[in-house]
Amino acid sequence: MLIQWFPGHMAKAKRQMEESIKRVDSLVYVLDARAPFSCINPEFDDLIGMKPVLYVINKCDLVERSAADAWLSYLRSRGMTALAISSTVGKDASKVLAALRDINREKLERNRQKGVNYALKAMVIGMPNTGKSTLINALCRGKKTVTGNKPGVTKGEQWVRLEGGLSLLDTPGTLCHSMKSEVVGLHLAFIGAVRDAVVDTTELSLEFIGFLRQNYPSTILSRYGAEEVGTPLEVLTSIAGKRGFMKKGGEEDIDKAALALIDDFRKLRLGKIILEMPDDER
Ligand SMILES: Nc1nc2c(ncn2[C@@H]2O[C@H](COP(=O)(O)OP(=O)(O)OP(=O)(O)O)[C@@H](O)[C@H]2O)c(=O)[nH]1
Ligand SMILES: [Mg+2]
């Protein structure tokens, strides 16, 4: 299943980001903990250039701690500065402030020696729906940016100034013009980084059933009491039956079951599920 979505606002956002990057010291690159590899956008490489980057694995409450730690070790082993947090849980987000000062320490030190009281500026980038705006709100302990559980909520750039002088630039989530691979497209669609309306949710859920059976066997049985044997379509039909999703005439409503399955995954009702690990074959 090939997934593609690159609406006009993303193309405009990328052009704006190319301009705005000149005005920031560093970047905060937000990744979704369920699919960190898929959230790394190769089209950001040129944009980032030589600026220091802090990689933030966000939504860690949705995966096992050990899985988030494995990703942290992987990124750090590649020389990347990385943190694993949950923007919506406790004071996790505040770790970002210290880490930002750390990646900018040479610049801060130079300015200190010159006697300049320098306020850092950072641009927050990442795939859609990874939690960029939520992270900024957590850092300013307010509701300065608009957030929402769907991709494409932030449509334009927005500066947010924090106490102590640090300014953060929220940016619209941007995907790639073409996905790194079919699997990457699927993972981004599973986590809700691609607008659901541009994806065939039933086909997506059939792919998700294939993933679950291979990686999290018994999840479907324990959540729905549905059969896990047979083709993904048979499994989906069984889920529809168990959930009582029936069309007029008594036929199982597989489209409704498909929506419920994806929604259950995103809302953690299937348990903590990670879609990719650092040592997966790619
Ligand atoms: N469980 C969980 N949900 C989170 C976390 N951070 C953000 N979210 C949720 O993820 C959804 C998307 O958050 P946003 O901050 O709007 O995401 P964004 O990256 O700004 O999205 P775009 O502006 O569309 O690119 C919202 O429903 C947030 O509540 C987190 O750490 N854990
Ligand atoms: Mg946003």
**The domain spanning residue 66 has which CATH number?**
3.40.50.300
Q: Looking at the structure, do residues 33 and 124 belong to the same domain, yes or no?
A: yes
89: left (phi over 0), alpha (psi -120 to 50) or beta: beta
Average pLDDT value for residue range 72-88: 97
pLDDT for the residue numbered 113: 95
Is 194 a domain residue? no
Q: Looking at the structure, do residues 104 and 166 belong to the same domain, yes or no?
A: yes
Neighbours of 151 (CB within 10 A): 25
Q: Looking at the structure, do residues 36 and 141 belong to the same domain, yes or no?
A: yes
Quote the ligand 1 centre to 101 CA distance (angstroms): 24
Is 181 a domain residue? no
pLDDT for the residue numbered 235: 97
DSSP strand E in the chain: where?
26-32, 53-58, 81-84, 121-126, 158-161, 167-170
Q: Considering only CA atoms, which residue is closest to atom 2 of ligand 1? A: 59
Q: Looking at the structure, do residues 33 and 142 belong to the same domain, yes or no?
A: yes
* The pLDDT of residue 165 is above 90: no
Parallel, antiparallel, or unpaired: how do β-strands 53-58 and 158-161 relate? unpaired
**Ligand closest to the CA atom of residue 134:** 1
Q: Looking at the structure, do residues 86 and 210 belong to the same domain, yes or no?
A: no
Neighbours of 269 (CB within 10 A): 11
How do residues 226-280 score in pLDDT, each as one tens digit? 988 899 999 999 999 999 999 999 999 999 999 999 999 999 999 999 999 999 9
* The pLDDT of residue 78 is above 90: yes
How do residues 109-138 score in pLDDT, each as one tens digit? 999 999 998 899 999 999 999 999 999 999
* The pLDDT of residue 173 is above 90: yes
**In which band, very low, low, confident or very high, does the pLDDT at 57 lie, cut at 50, 70 and 90?**
very high
Quote the ligand 2 centre to 111 CA distance (angstroms): 32
Q: Indicate the helix (H) or strand (E) that contains 84.
A: strand 81-84
Tokens representing 31 are 């990744």
Which string of DSSP letters, residue by residue, matches 45-56?
HHHHTTS-EEEE
Number of domain units in the chain: 2
Q: Looking at the structure, do residues 166 and 206 belong to the same domain, yes or no?
A: no
**In which band, very low, low, confident or very high, does the pLDDT at 282 lie, cut at 50, 70 and 90?**
confident
Q: Domain boundary at 124, 155, 170, which?
A: 170
Q: Indicate the helix (H) or strand (E) that contains 260.
A: helix 254-266
Q: Considering only CA atoms, which residue is closest to atom 16 of ligand 1? A: 147
The number of angstroms, rounded, from the C-alpha of 230 to the middle of its chain's C-alpha atoms is 32
User: Which residues constitute the domain of residue 143?
Assistant: 8-170
Is 213 a domain residue? yes
Is 182 a domain residue? no
Quote the ligand 2 centre to 155 CA distance (angstroms): 8
Average pLDDT score, the chain: 95
Pocket of ligand 1 (CB under 6 A): 58-59, 61-62, 86-88, 126, 128-134, 147-149, 151-154, 172-173
Ligand 2 ion local residues (Cβ < 5 A): 132-133, 153-154
